């Protein structure tokens, strides 16, 4: 698991001068809002390198996070989906 990355607010995004950086930051915010998250704060990446265990798959790992953090508090992108 990697350190969390901050999702900027609309006001913070407006202060970014670099066009590409502004687009990347806004995309992260829009993805979170698309899934119903209000005022998202951060995102993080989890890499599962050893997928050889049949009883442990990516969907089950995502379910563990949903149980611990609440269904409405997180968005889980699986199998190569990208949050940029």
pLDDT for residue 53: 57
Helices (H), the chain: 10-14, 19-34, 58-69
Rg from Cα positions in the chain: 15
Determine the 3-state secondary structure of 72 from DSSP.
Answer: helix
Domain ranges of the chain: 5-73
Give the model's pLDDT for residue 64. 81
pLDDT at residue 83, rounded to an integer: 52
Task: Give mean pLDDT in consecutive 10-residue pieces for the chain, a chain of 84 residues.
Answer: 81 96 93 84 73 64 78 66 53
- Burial class from Cβ neighbours inside 10 Å (0-12, 13-18, 19+) for residue 26 reads middle
pLDDT recorded at residue 58: 66
SS3 20: helix
Phi then psi for residue 77, to 5 deg, are -100, 130
């Amino acid at each position: 698991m990697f350190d969390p990355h901050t999702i900027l607010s609309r006001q913070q995004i407006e202060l970014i001068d670099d066009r590409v950086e502004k687009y990347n930051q806004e995309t992260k915010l829009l993805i979170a809002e698309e899934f119903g998250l209000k005022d998202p704060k951060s995102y993080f990446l989890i890499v599962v390198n050893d997928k050889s265990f049949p009883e442990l798959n990516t969907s089950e790992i995502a379910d563990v996070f949903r149980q611990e953090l609440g269904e409405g508090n997180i968005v889980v992108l699986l199998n190569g989906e990208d949050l940029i």
